[in-house]
Amino acid sequence: MKKLSLFSLIALLIGIHAFAQQKPLVIDNPNLVLESNLMSPEVLWAFGRVSDPQVSPDGETVLYGVSYYSVEQNKGNRELYSVGLNAESVKRLTTSPKSEFNAIWRPDGKKIGFLTSESGSVQLWEMNPDGSERTQISKIEGGISGFKYAPDQSKILYTKDVELEGKFENLYEGLPLASGRLMNDLMYRHWDHWVDSYSHVFIADYSSKGLNNHKDIMVGEPFNSPLSPFGGIEQIEWSANSKIVAYSSKKLSGKAATLSTNSAIYFYNLESGKTENMTKGMMGFDVAPVFSPDGNYMAWESMERDGYESDKNRLYILNLKTGDKIYATKDFDQNAGSISWTADSKHIYFTSDWHGAFQIYRFDLSSKEISQITEGLHDYRSVAIAGKQLVAAKQTMALPTELFLVNPKKGSAQQMTFTNKKLLDQLSMGRTEERWIKTHDGEDMQVFVIYPPNFDSSKKYPALLYCKGGPQGPLSQSFHYRWNYQIMAANDYIIVAPARRGVSGFGQAWQEQISGDYHGKSMQDYLTAIDELSKEPFIDENKLGAIGASAGGYAVYYLAGNHDGRFKAFVAHDGIFNEEAQYLETEEMWFENWDKGGPFWEKENKVAQEAYAHSPHKFVQDWDTPILIIHGELDYRVVVTQGMTAFNAAILRDVPAEYLYFPDENHWVLRPQNGILWQRTFFNWLDKWLK
């Protein structure tokens, strides 16, 4: 339900799965030979997943991680690698059964710091740039979750979980086996966990011999930093002079926290011990502070409106000398993320999605102009400065993430890492085609069509309408490890993926047309896209399916009662079935209030009443098409009973249905064997009804 930027989250989850395991993973086999040249679930889980590139202080080497999975052991492991900018070969720095993450260069470039587990506790370690002399630096009780060196190397900041103070301890006295939880306010659980602690920032004196833990400083008030659940160490930063820690936090709790998105950037002054809100009066999300190298500015990502988590993600700059704030992307009707300053503090590079692709852009602090650096059908999801060049993580629908060296003047790119080359060389990928069609109300809409690898235009193929989740956010060139277009195409389906109302990258007005209107224009956009593509002679209009997750699952449930016989099969994953129940079952109330217009009991609220009147469950009497429903028990955004009630309704209506239930998965499917089970069930169902 929330737009995601998951590189750091996924890397952390991969690491957590591996921490408790001692058996080494021998799964990054460069000699892996495939039995077929077509994508399969097992192949998806064989790819190495590249993440978190970090450029060395001298700008000559890139540190990064690669996660591999063992299906047999049902877990993953993340190792560290480096590659030089001057066409040097890749070097593997770690070989361990325990994942290494949050790996960064020490400011002097002589050491690499990273986190890994020791005796069940995540601690800070260091090693030489060649991977030698691995040494434990911290021994912090309870472990830590992230860290950064001060630029002068005198201190580090780190984050760790702190238990919430209990309000009802006396009730549990003498009841060590009692399992009941007593709540008296909201936000008692979030996404996939019960809220028993908060993440907080600490500062410790640093030396290469270890941390002086007895002098650790707890920064600010007892509220989450970084923001849960997707925020990482990028939300906390040192000033250039090592005297200030800037951190992102939403200093609200209970009902107030669940109704508001108002986070702020705070400065903690190490000398005075005082904390100051630097974005006071700015009411939306304010996150990811980045100081300029000269110490004169701080840039950050900012949303304007409280309660709207998919507002325009703006690039803002604070002049630390004058206090003036610069709205850098005021005339730029796009989002901005992955902010990086140039060494001379005159430019900022960032990434942004536009028309189904993420590109690299540059902001000139002097002229206030924005220039587009790259173009093409790809997703550049991060960008970092490496001398006069850029290092960027790039992916496409047919290419898992790899690192590229980008020329900032020409926009040209040279591939640096080839993590999955031997696998990709054995696979045939389907062609991706960009089309533009007219919507029912005359607007231009981008639609991606993905063809089977051995496409034959003289044949007729079943087609799948892909209903995007979010509901806001990009529909771009993502290489997804579950909703993967290439594996669908490899199973002889043509995929139709429309950038319907609500998708970002087409201006804020286009994105906002879905709020309060899930059932209206966006549904017509879906039907227009599949109707238009069904006119092609190579698509069998009698063998159409609709698939989607989260808000895409809502779309599937809604279309199941409003499709006029177009579709012969549906698949809904973690979808919203009953909007009135969803309003009171979920935890981020700001989302429901913004996207539904308010609670269902406000009878005079016309926007809300119109939204609830079109809840998918109110059209279940018209369901007549086979449907597969998938849901995870640990999904607290869209709770598991949404899937159960949809399945029960289908069975009671004598509609062919299956229900795939995961007791140990959340809003995603993160375990290898569960992922393969998901794919097998998905294709078995579609093949049964569409082939």
Q: Annotated catalytic sites, by residue?
A: 550, 635, 667
Report whether 558 contacts 578 (CB < 8 A): no
Is-contact 11 78, C-beta < 8 A?
A: yes
| Residue matched to tokens 């640990």 | 634
Between CA 83 and CA 419 the distance in angstroms is 12
Report the chain's terminal Cα–Cα distance, integer Å: 31
Q: 591 near 2, Cβ under 8 Å?
A: yes
User: How far is it, in rounded angstroms, from Cα 147 to Cα 447?
Assistant: 42
**What sign has the CA pseudo-torsion 293, 296, 301, 307?**
positive
Q: Residue 292 CA to chain centroid, in angstroms?
A: 26
Task: State how far the Cα of 143 lies from the Cα of 120, in Å rounded to an integer.
Answer: 9
Q: What tokens were used for 380?
A: 């550049």
Please check whether residue 622 is in contact with residue 614, taking contact to mean a CB–CB distance below 8 angstroms. Answer: no
Q: Name 110's Cβ contacts closer than 8 Å, sequence gap at least 6.
A: 128, 129
Q: Could you give the count of Cα atoms lying within 13 Å of 411 in the half-sphere of its Cβ?
A: 12
Pairing of strands 121-127, 112-118: antiparallel
| 209: CB partners within 8 A, 6+ apart | none
Ramachandran assignment for 282, one of left (phi > 0), alpha (psi -120 to 50 degrees), beta (any other): beta
Taking a C-beta distance cutoff of 8 angstroms, is the pair 126, 106 a contact?
Answer: yes
CA distance readout (Å), 308 to 261, 411, 584: 7, 34, 18
The pair of structure tokens assigned to 60 is 């000559």
Structure tokens at 316: 């803002």
Whole-angstrom distance, CA of residue 18 vs CA of residue 76: 6
Burial class for 224, CB neighbours closer than 10 Å (0-12, 13-18, 19+)? buried
Short-list 594, 521, 519, 512, CA closest to 551 = 519
CA distance linking residue 265 with residue 278, whole number of Å: 6
Q: Is 609 helix (H, G, I), strand (E, B) or coil?
A: helix
CB atoms within 10 A of CB 23: 9
CA distances from 619 to 552, 622, 648 (A): 17, 6, 14
**DSSP H or E stretch at residue 245:** strand 244-249
| 593 vs 309: CA distance, rounded Å | 11
Q: CA 78 to CA 100: how far, in whole Å?
A: 6
CA–CA distance, 127 with 62 (Å, rounded to integer): 15
Under DSSP, is residue 206 helix (H, G, I), strand (E, B) or coil? Answer: strand
